[in-house]
Structure 1
Amino acid sequence: MKNYIKYNEWQIIEEGFDPHLNKISESIFSLGNGRMGQRANFEEQYTGETLQGNYVAGVYYPDKTRVGWWKNGYPEYFAKVLNATNWIGINIVVNDEVLDLNTCKVLDFSRVLDMQLGTLTRRFSVELKNGNVLDVETIRFCSLVDDEAGAIKYTITPHNFDGKISIESSLDGDVKNQDSNYDEKFWTEISAKQQDDFALLTMETKKTAFWVSSGIYTAIHQDGIALNVKPKFSTKEKYVAQQFTVDVKKDQATTIYKYAVNLSSENHDKTELENAAVEVLKTVVAKGFDQMLKEQAAAWTTKWQNGDVIIEGDVAAQQAIRFNIFQLHQTYTGEDARLNIGPKGFTGEKYGGSTYWDTEAYCLPFYLATAPQQVSENLLIYRYNHLEKAIENAEKLGFKDGAALYPMVTINGEECHNEWEITFEEIHRNGAIAFAIFNYIRYTGEQKYLAEYGLEVLIGIARFWAQRINWSIEKEKYVMLGITGPNEYENNVNNNWYTSTIATWCLKYTIEAIDLVKADNPQELNQILAKTKFDTVKEITHWQDIITKMFYPEDEKLGIFLQQDGYLDKEQVLVKDLPAVDRPLNQKWSWDRILRSCFIKQADVLQGIYFFEEDYDIETIRRNYDFYEPRTVHESSLSPCVHAIIAAKLGDLDRAYEFYLRTSRLDLDDYNNDTEDGLHITSMAGTWLSVVEGFGGMRIKNNQLHLHPVLPKKWKSYAFKIGFRQAIITVKVDEQKVSLKNESEKALTLNIFGEDHTLQANGVLELNSQIIAH
């Protein structure tokens, strides 16, 4: 665990330069706008340890699978989020010496990520080997308004010398992915050229043939006045640059303005791609840096109006949740149903793909409550558009008749994860997609979604479960064999409780969905049944039989659901008894040792209890929580938030707060020693869930919003907004009262602490805090 980020409510601040922390900071200070993004690499040359990364949404490469053996059903490739053209490069030579923080003496250094403005500012003072001392300040951002563009303001001020500074503003397409399986570079050059005062570089991905056209314009100012200097253009393979040489004087500021665009063939015709890049570049250059920055600030103000969570009395907690929300908004805007939320977003390459079950299980609730309805609907439509691929994925594994298995990892709907215990066995991901449809409908009340998109997906998923389950003669029950549950520290187990539970829930919900569509629009139902060749009597009869006769492992003596068959045969050791030197297990133990242990990577049984808590009484929840949490090492980013929510429900606010801090500061404090690979974007939604569903007790039951707030000891108050069925509600909780403010023209009946209340249009409702437990 690192602890070098300074606490601040609206900023992420690093003071002092430690090269050993640089890759971690490159992740933490990343920027994005939903269409493009970048790690916090330095603009100037840096020969120290770094992971250079610029990314363009929707562009990928099918890197050939690297395994020592092959099995039927393995994906042939692992889709990689591509490191794309580096557009930020501004190499500086001062009196013939290269500015490089790895080789010069760093006198002062700070980095600031401003979450209100969406900007990254870096300030440093250095002494070069020739004795020259200079100050540098850089400000850059990826524009939310012009989402194919970014801008940089780079200011150099000499301290003790006059002389010359050479500036090379570049586009570098000669990049490669750190995670390339065969050290292959994935890009080829289409063109590199000068057009007027612009430099353009167009690159093409191998195999997938995506084109990305990047363009830059660079201007030099001194003392606030533009210099009349024309750039000298230079090119080499996959590289184009604009070069300037300027005279500088002691204490005189020289400012470099760099405007850049990245346009892809996903959004533009290839024949017009370069022209389109030039037009976007002209637009942002005409605006200028200050106007772009003003628009950026206004766009972020709008984002924060409905998405902010305000915590009083705990700066570490406040900073952390805003950081998580900020990164979610930088990654996904919901404007394009072809895009999804990658586990690393625009901050790194690890894991590959752009879509995991994390989106449905963790991210969807955040967008349901904080963004226009179309945003969350687009996340579901993304899966609907991949239904045929999901059916193909199932067919590759031997399933038939329209059974659909959604991939564990994908970009285009095709499974591209190549570890057998994940590809073949971690099939609970199917259930998360069905649950997301249910979650969307109960939150929005939009049952028409079932007929338009949802029911086809549910039928495909239900068919998969019906074929994946088999009858056990010995048990005289249906069983599910050869599973990897959410706890990935268990592979190839039988009767994983969570997977079996969500499988039968899917069957039940699909039957219910058929009845709902039949009641609303029987003609549309008939069309869906015909399209899917659904045998109503035969299939539903079989599903009902499975629902009635499914086997779920339990231990009656302990009163718990067993994670899987034989779990109690393992040596039962608690995490508190593990030596610190053994943590994290996935970096210290052999895989064999992990698989034989009782230790749990992330919520497994508790994931099911979180989803379906209404099915269990409070003591059942408590027994399972008290048994499984002490055995959980939380070495998945998805784990702490589920435990925080359940702990808050159980009234254990100390543990809930501990898990909240862990999930919210996971990357800021590098809890799991892996932040340098990129941030854990999808689990960041779990931070929001920890506050709103955990401490706020927010649930949707019977088409009604329910709240049961509690207040952590360290907080004076907290507040959040919920958009629910055309109403926007601000909830504030402090030691004296719970206040609700309706910021809409629609009255709302909601349940607080188990009692119904009416919140009038534009009205305020306050309740005494006597029932708020600490």
Structure 2
Amino acid sequence: MNQDYIIPDNWSILEEGFDAARVEASESLFSLGNGAMGQRANFEENYSGSSFQGSYIAGVYYPDKTKVGWWKNGYPEYFAKVLNAPNWIGVNVYINGEELDLNTCKEIRYFRRELNMKEGWYERSFTAILPNEVEVAVKVIRFLSLKRNELGAINFEIELKNTDANVIFEPYLDSGITNEDANWEEKFWETLSVKSVEEQAFVTAKTLKTEFHATAFMQSSLFKNGKVLNAAFEEKVHEDKISFTYSSEVKKGDKIALHKFGGYVTDMNHKRENLIAAAQAVLEGAVSAGFETLLQEQKDAWAGIWEMADIAIEGDVKAQQGIRFNIFQLNQTYLGEDARLNIGPKGFTGEKYGGSTYWDTEAYCIPFYMATKNHEVARNLLTYRYNHLDKAIENAKKLGFSNGAALYPMVTMNGEESHNEWEITFEEIHRNGAMVVAIKRYVEYTGDFSYVPEKGLEVMIAIARFWQQRANYSTKKDKFVILGVTGPNEYENNVNNNWYTNYIAKWCIDYCLASLEKVEREYDSDFKRIIEKTDLKEEELARWKEVSEKMYFPYSEEYKVFLQQDSFLDKEIIPVSELSRAQRPINQKWSWDRILRSCYIKQADVLQGFYFFEEHFSKEELEKHFDFYEPLTVHESSLSPCVHSIQAAALGRMDQAYQFYLRTSRLDLDDYNNEVKEGCHITSMAGTWMSIVEGFGGMRVIDGKLSFNPRIPEGWDSYSFKLNFRNQILKISVAPQKTSFSLEGTEPLEILVNGKPVAVMPSVLLTV
């Protein structure tokens, strides 16, 4: 564990005491989002210390030109950057002419932050002595409205503690911003106009190349001791910035506050010529409602989310804080209301990795959104990939594939591959399989097969074509092999026959063939349309079957396990337990050459296959593979602990399952990998939810029925969660000696508990 300054609390993320070395980490942890926009927890007032400035608009990106030392055919021309958007939160503050800046204050007597996850707001309060000896107490509350998702609100309040003083607030908009991770130090925005109408200000800018147009806007009001202060203001306009200056004489003990409303409207949702009018409408609604009404709206909106999504844990505050932080951040990032959007790996908390979506969405996120929201949200996520199918076919074509074969991108905003590390772009092709796994999970969980003939089958056919072409026949083995890949374990590149890749390739082909038969049988008109559209012939299906039936899987007779790849046992096998802590994390301490030659595994690889296809293997096989591979795993991917937690629970190893759960749920709060200042690991947070629901709760779908095999970590009094299963809400409560089920709905629900069928009746508590 690398940090422990976050104070344990059931519903809030809390920090007390100011430490400049923690500022950037806290900017990530206290981030805000509402699905449409988000921002790091940067100070509103100027801060001259080290800070990572970031405000982001969902779906808005920039194609930053690829920066590599040499070019390879098939390389993406750009890396899709999540953009640091124009800054609307800024409020410069001057007291008797001295700028309020926590980096230059003579003394900070008190400092506290709170991210209230239950109600969806962020508060920062501090008492400081400025260089001119004026002592001030400051309290700032900020939130991004869920109900009005183009709007954010700030209440910036100052109390003078030791003297009367002149207080100046200078709220501003600024589009002269840069990205922390720009490849060529380019500016990504061009300011088009800076305007004001009375107390409203607007900065309109467009992204270069992609030409997204956005208007940042603001309107402010001054209050003294809770009453409106009709203060005059001075306007300053610059090339890409506008500010209003409010000056007021304030007596010792008085409280003066600035209410600032701001946010973004974009041409994703409005006509370009109407952006300022749209911003004015948002501001008029905000001013009419007022800060307190907007805050109450926010509390009500979050109450609605928590009613369905909460996981309540009794008896372990750190575990409770961890899971709620994960659920909170997932809902801040994506609410499922816009099918054009997806779940970025850093959400609105940072810029690292770029791109809007990875295979993480299909592998880890869809189960969370499917179970805690309505099924349309999961369908939207699947549709997102269907809408990108033509681009996936184009991506494969660039690499030499033909006949409509598709390779989904590792990183994307619009369906084009935009990741430019060769060992991932060209080799981490297992991502293709996750697209089909997501369809299978959706069909099993919702019972809605109609997605397959409507859209899903076209995706499956294109992916099956890819796998058939990517495999090649080995005369020596009389098998089909898949050469030159990177599996989920990114600490091995350019290996042959990664077991997980080969297995998911075969499974994708088999699942597509089975789906074709079902669609032909039950959806005749769709079947004819798809066959005609894809020009699928019997001889091609025969080639698929041959590849599937003769797929090669590396296996060790010595250890009786599937091998991660052909030459895995050529490595020196030394368990992680024998690796010095001073050498960890190896991705920050070792050369890449040394990592690639080592036996160490970044995240579940063979075990990822055992997680996805659990029903294909016996418990004894899982145990043997878990005992072989987990001791070699360094868990330096955010996606690693959750899979291992679920499998440890399935094996009845609850101490180990709990430790993995704690690591995944508090990965960012405790900064296990020493990188949280770059942003939080949003997509792995869905894996944390699965650690409890699928791990401790043992939830599976078997033959169309929910099945549970509940367990509880030692020391927990209870835990509970809800699932929206086929439009019926089932609540599960697990205690050491009993599990209770309650059903919201009108029809009974038959489930399995520890393998035995049980009927849950509506509004009747059932205890097993």
TM range (shorter): over 0.9
How big is the shift at 1:352?
A: 0.5
Which of 284, 287, 290 lines up with 2:289 in the alignment?
287
- Partner AA of 2:666 in structure 1: R
In the alignment, does 2:557 pair up with 1:541?
A: no
Q: Secondary structure of 2:379's match?
A: helix
Q: What is the aligned partner in structure 2 of residue 52 from structure 1?
A: 53
CA–CA distance in structure 2, aligned partners of residues 228 and 592 of structure 1 = 66
Deviates most, 226-235 or 59-68? 226-235
| Runs of 4+ residues over 6 Å off in structure 1 | none
Q: Secondary structure of 2:232's match?
A: coil
Q: What is the aligned partner in structure 1 of residue 651 from structure 2?
A: 650
Q: What is the aligned partner in structure 2 of residue 415 from structure 1?
A: 417
Contact 2:742 2:762 in 1 (8 A): no
Q: What pairs with 1:149-548 in structure 2 (closer than 5 Å)?
A: 149-535=151-537, 537-548=538-549
Q: Secondary structure of 1:365's match?
A: helix
Cα deviation digits, residues 621-673 of structure 1 (max 9, x gap):
00000110000000000000000000000000011000000000000000000
Cα deviation digits, residues 412-453 of structure 1 (max 9, x gap):
000000000000000000000110001000000001101111
How big is the shift at 1:523?
A: 1.2
Return the TM-score normalized by structure 2. 0.99
Q: What is the aligned partner in structure 2 of residue 593 from structure 1?
A: 594
Q: Secondary structure of 1:166's match?
A: strand
Q: Secondary structure of 2:480's match?
A: strand
How big is the shift at 1:547?
A: 1.5
- Partner AA of 1:136 in structure 2: V
CA–CA distance in structure 2, aligned partners of residues 276 and 520 of structure 1 = 48
Q: Secondary structure of 2:236's match?
A: strand
Q: Secondary structure of 1:436's match?
A: helix
Contact 1:320 1:668 in 2 (8 A): yes
- Partner AA of 2:701 in structure 1: I
Q: What is the aligned partner in structure 2 of residue 107 from structure 1?
A: 109
Q: Secondary structure of 1:508's match?
A: helix
Deviates most, 605-614 or 277-286? 277-286
Q: What is the aligned partner in structure 1 of residue 685 from structure 2?
A: 684
Q: Across the two proteins, how many residue pairs are aligned to each other?
A: 766
CA–CA distance in structure 2, aligned partners of residues 595 and 82 of structure 1 = 33
How big is the shift at 1:398?
A: 0.2
Q: Secondary structure of 1:122's match?
A: strand
CA–CA distance in structure 2, aligned partners of residues 247 and 665 of structure 1 = 46
Q: Secondary structure of 2:22's match?
A: helix
- Partner AA of 2:169 in structure 1: I
CA–CA distance in structure 1, aligned partners of residues 459 and 233 of structure 2 = 56
- Partner AA of 2:377 in structure 1: V
Contact 1:187 1:204 in 2 (8 A): yes
Q: What is the aligned partner in structure 2 of residue 716 from structure 1?
A: 717
How big is the shift at 1:230?
A: 2.9
Cα deviation digits, residues 471-512 of structure 1 (max 9, x gap):
000000000000000000000000000000001000010011
Contact 2:374 2:727 in 1 (8 A): no
- Partner AA of 1:186 in structure 2: F
How big is the shift at 1:763?
A: 2.6
CA–CA distance in structure 1, aligned partners of residues 413 and 233 of structure 2 = 40
Q: What is the aligned partner in structure 2 of residue 756 from structure 1?
A: 757
CA–CA distance in structure 2, aligned partners of residues 49 and 517 of structure 1 = 58
CA–CA distance in structure 2, aligned partners of residues 34 and 556 of structure 1 = 50
How big is the shift at 1:229?
A: 1.2
Deviates most, 664-673 or 265-274? 265-274
Q: What is the aligned partner in structure 2 of residue 707 from structure 1?
A: 708
Q: Secondary structure of 2:146's match?
A: coil
Contact 2:407 2:429 in 1 (8 A): yes
Cα deviation digits, residues 698-748 of structure 1 (max 9, x gap):
001111111000010021111000110121100001022110001111211
Q: What is the aligned partner in structure 2 of residue 772 from structure 1?
A: none
Cα deviation digits, residues 510-568 of structure 1 (max 9, x gap):
01111121122111100011011111x11221111112111000112211110000101
CA–CA distance in structure 2, aligned partners of residues 231 and 311 of structure 1 = 51
Q: What pairs with 1:738-757 in structure 2 (closer than 5 Å)?
A: 738-757=739-758
CA–CA distance in structure 2, aligned partners of residues 742 and 342 of structure 1 = 33
Q: What is the aligned partner in structure 1 of residue 72 from structure 2?
A: 71
Q: Report sequence identity in percent.
A: 54
CA–CA distance in structure 1, aligned partners of residues 232 and 454 of structure 2 = 57
Contact 1:261 1:281 in 2 (8 A): no
Contact 1:198 1:215 in 2 (8 A): yes
Q: Secondary structure of 1:26's match?
A: helix
Q: What is the aligned partner in structure 2 of residue 671 from structure 1?
A: 672
CA–CA distance in structure 2, aligned partners of residues 681 and 71 of structure 1 = 31
Q: Secondary structure of 1:2's match?
A: coil
Q: Secondary structure of 1:221's match?
A: strand
- Partner AA of 1:734 in structure 2: A
Contact 1:151 1:289 in 2 (8 A): yes
How big is the shift at 1:193?
A: 1.0
CA–CA distance in structure 2, aligned partners of residues 117 and 146 of structure 1 = 15
How big is the shift at 1:761?
A: 2.5
Gaps of 5+ in 1: 768-774
Q: Secondary structure of 2:442's match?
A: helix
Q: What is the aligned partner in structure 2 of residue 6 from structure 1?
A: 7
- Partner AA of 1:277 in structure 2: A
Cα deviation digits, residues 121-148 of structure 1 (max 9, x gap):
0000000111110000000000000000
Q: What is the aligned partner in structure 2 of residue 622 from structure 1?
A: 623
CA–CA distance in structure 2, aligned partners of residues 515 and 33 of structure 1 = 42
Q: What is the aligned partner in structure 2 of residue 694 from structure 1?
A: 695
Q: Secondary structure of 2:644's match?
A: helix
- Partner AA of 2:724 in structure 1: G
Q: Secondary structure of 1:184's match?
A: coil
CA–CA distance in structure 1, aligned partners of residues 715 and 172 of structure 2 = 49
CA–CA distance in structure 2, aligned partners of residues 249 and 699 of structure 1 = 64
Q: What is the aligned partner in structure 2 of residue 634 from structure 1?
A: 635
CA–CA distance in structure 1, aligned partners of residues 650 and 159 of structure 2 = 56
Return the TM-score normalized by structure 1. 0.98
How big is the shift at 1:169?
A: 0.1
Q: What pairs with 1:566-585 in structure 2 (closer than 5 Å)?
A: 566-585=567-586
Contact 1:743 1:763 in 2 (8 A): no
CA–CA distance in structure 1, aligned partners of residues 521 and 338 of structure 2 = 32
CA–CA distance in structure 1, aligned partners of residues 588 and 22 of structure 2 = 19
Contact 1:601 1:635 in 2 (8 A): yes
How big is the shift at 1:762?
A: 2.6
CA–CA distance in structure 1, aligned partners of residues 406 and 737 of structure 2 = 51
How big is the shift at 1:306?
A: 0.7
- Partner AA of 2:589 in structure 1: K
How big is the shift at 1:764?
A: 2.3
Q: Secondary structure of 1:139's match?
A: strand
Q: What is the aligned partner in structure 2 of residue 731 from structure 1?
A: 732
Q: Secondary structure of 1:706's match?
A: strand
How big is the shift at 1:261?
A: 2.4
How big is the shift at 1:292?
A: 0.4
CA–CA distance in structure 2, aligned partners of residues 645 and 7 of structure 1 = 24
C-alpha RMSD of the superposition: 0.7
Q: Secondary structure of 2:628's match?
A: helix
Q: Secondary structure of 2:290's match?
A: helix
CA–CA distance in structure 2, aligned partners of residues 380 and 590 of structure 1 = 38
Q: Secondary structure of 2:156's match?
A: strand
Q: What is the aligned partner in structure 2 of residue 770 from structure 1?
A: none
Q: Secondary structure of 1:690's match?
A: helix
